[in-house]
Amino acid sequence: MGKKIFIFDTTLRDGTQAEGISLSVDDKLKIAAKLDWFGMDYIEGGWPGSNPKDEKFFERVKDLNLKNSKMTAFTSTRRKNMKAEDDIILNKVVASGAAVSCLFGKSWDFHVKTALNTTLEENLKMIEESVRYLKEKGMEVIYDAEHYFDGYFNNPEYALKTIKAAESGGADYICLCETNGGRLPDEVAAVVKKAKDEVSVKLGIHAHNDSEVAVANSIAAVREGALMVHGTVNGYGERCGNANLCSVIPNLQLKLDYECVAGSGLEKLTELSRYVDEIANKIPASHNPFVGHSAFAHKGGIHVSAVRKDSSTYEHIEPDSVGNKRKILISELAGASNIKFKSKEFGIDFTEDSKEVDILLKKIKKKEDDGYYYEGAEASFELIMLRQSGVKKKFFELEGFRVIIESDSEGELRSEATIKVKVNGVKEHTASVGSGPVNALDNAMRKALEKFYPELKEVNLTDFKVRVIDARQGTAGKVRVLIESSDKKNAWGTIGVSENLIEASWEALVDSIEYKLLKG
């Protein structure tokens, strides 16, 4: 492994500035523990003194006893025309108990004059004196040169003076910030190279993603000598986000042989990504590189055939190197290779020249032509394979069901379902109500079957999606119902298609129950 690159995670500070993300103190503590588990070098927890939540976080994070990460407090340079030791905000950072301070200051003369409304010389003093004060208090100091790239292109001489001021103050790192996210990799590389020639302090890069090149800009900076990369898990951040560490880290470590995380840490990357999404209440982006559910998904039959022979034909890395999995999709584009791959995955014995494979492939393509879609309903697809192989056990027989929807005198809708099933020759006739017709059916089926199969009490319906397949047919068009279910250990998806919403829902519900009984 080559040169060490220090990873500075700002998910808990910069990441929370993203629209739609709000983390409680408990949420932040959970994520901090996971970042430490992964092996981040620095965790920026927030800005002590800016809000009560961040002050509570820094008080409580002391109990985590972090093993791999240094807790970092964010702050600004002292206010103009005052002494650093008299600045309340700087003293809040000192009092936070954090070992590291990430201190930001102005690099762009435009900002100095417009935002700070002070002189260029006073800004240089603010930077140097603030860095020196925090160093005197025993803190490691990372100086964030805000808007450095725009500042450099507007006034290179002054931008360089600002980072030299941080150097004079004793900064441990100077992080060049591409704050507006508008610069391209060749520009970033040139400016980092110039800074490296001018100062002896170790450099870092903090890139925003407004031009979709934050990851590329971060890599370009490292190639020119930056030893620290700032970013967030899943690229969270204000506007278009920050450099996505879930892409930066594997690119640097797997492609360029830098060391970002030690040992087997990189294999935890996918789990980290999905955990942070879960805590932030965000749906994971399927197409995220490296960690997305579709990052190693193969659909075309020719692709799958090649991947079966050698995965490098259509994969740039092994999925398990980042903790992800290969995914073979079943659709009208599938070939026999897809079926064979999935049969092996499900433990079903289809030989290479099995006629069942051809029959199953034709059946799948016909079903997809009818509106089925198995990419989100692999449980239904596995049941089809088991039926074709002749090994699937029949757990119950449906003899009939009825659903009644009625409105009372106050206009309230009520749904009631009645169901008749037979289990091992025993007939069961039950009825149940629900908040809607599908819920009523689900309740009635569970009521009928749970006395025979008590494990069904563990099953929860976690999502229910309905889509009209051909809107041109209006209310006579087919609908596709996708149901997601889970128990204490697993989650699975099932599907139903019909011109009748109730029938489509019933089909998906039955598959969900049968899949649970099959897997135990």
pLDDT digits (tens, 9 = 90+) for 187-207: 999 999 999 999 999 999 999
CB 69 within 8 A of CB 10: no
Fill in the amino acid letter for 240: C
Q: Please provide residue 219's backbone torsions phi and psi, each rounded to the nearest 5 degrees.
A: -65, -40
The answer on pLDDT for 468 being more than 90 is: no
Helix, strand, coil percent values for the chain (each to nearest 5): 45, 20, 35
Compute the distance between CA of residue 297 and CA of residue 338 in angstroms, rounded to an integer: 11
66-75, 265-274, 417-426: segment of lowest average pLDDT: 417-426
Residue 423 is encoded by which pair of tokens?
């289990």
Query: What integer pLDDT is reported at residue 366 of this predicted model?
Result: 77
Residue 306 is encoded by which pair of tokens?
């090649």
The packing angle between helices 355-369 and 378-389, to 10°, is: 140
The answer on pLDDT for 27 being more than 90 is: yes
Query: What integer pLDDT is reported at residue 332 of this predicted model?
Result: 46
Residue found under tokens 């140097």: 128
Q: Which of 5, 6, 8, 10 is nearest to 235 (CA)?
A: 10
Of residues 119 and 385, more confidently modeled: 119
12-21, 40-49, 478-487: segment of lowest average pLDDT: 478-487
Compute the distance between CA of residue 208 and CA of residue 45 in angstroms, rounded to an integer: 19
342-351, 355-364, 410-419, 506-515: segment of lowest average pLDDT: 342-351
The mean pLDDT of 471-477, rounded to a whole number, is 56
In 261-293, which positions are buried (b, 16+ CB within 10 angstroms) versus exposed (e)?
beeebbebbbbbbbbbbebbeeeebeebbbbbb
Q: Work out the widest C-alpha separation in the chain, in whole angstroms.
A: 91
Compute the distance between CA of residue 333 and CA of residue 278 in angstroms, rounded to an integer: 32
The mean pLDDT of 329-334, rounded to a whole number, is 51
Query: What integer pLDDT is reported at residue 354 of this predicted model?
Result: 63
Query: What integer pLDDT is reported at residue 488 of this predicted model?
Result: 77
CA dihedral in degrees (212, 218, 221, 223; nearest 10)? -110
Query: What integer pLDDT is reported at residue 255 of this predicted model?
Result: 96
The answer on pLDDT for 376 being more than 70 is: no
Of residues 440 and 230, more confidently modeled: 230
What is the per-residue pLDDT across 394-409, written as a single tens digit (0 to 9) for each?
888 888 889 898 877 6
pLDDT band at 349 (very low <50, low <70, confident <90, very high): low
Q: Per the confidence metrics, is the pTM higher than 0.95?
A: no
15-29, 32-46, 428-442: segment of lowest average pLDDT: 428-442
Query: What integer pLDDT is reported at residue 190 of this predicted model?
Result: 98
The answer on pLDDT for 470 being more than 80 is: no
CATH of span 6-279? 3.20.20.70
Residue found under tokens 């509106």: 371
Q: What is the DSSP letter of 15?
A: G
The answer on pLDDT for 486 being more than 50 is: yes
Compute the distance between CA of residue 107 and CA of residue 146 in angstroms, rounded to an integer: 6
Percent of the chain exceeding pLDDT 70 equals 88
Residue 262 is encoded by which pair of tokens?
């030690």
* CATH architecture type of domain 455-520: 2-Layer Sandwich (3.30)
Q: Please provide residue 50's backbone torsions phi and psi, each rounded to the nearest 5 degrees.
A: -90, -25
The packing angle between helices 336-346 and 378-389, to 10°, is: 90
Q: Which of 207, 205, 130, 206 is nearest to 171 (CA)?
A: 130
Q: Where are the domains of the chain?
A: 6-279, 297-368, 455-520
pLDDT band at 345 (very low <50, low <70, confident <90, very high): low
Compute the distance between CA of residue 361 and CA of residue 357 in angstroms, rounded to an integer: 6
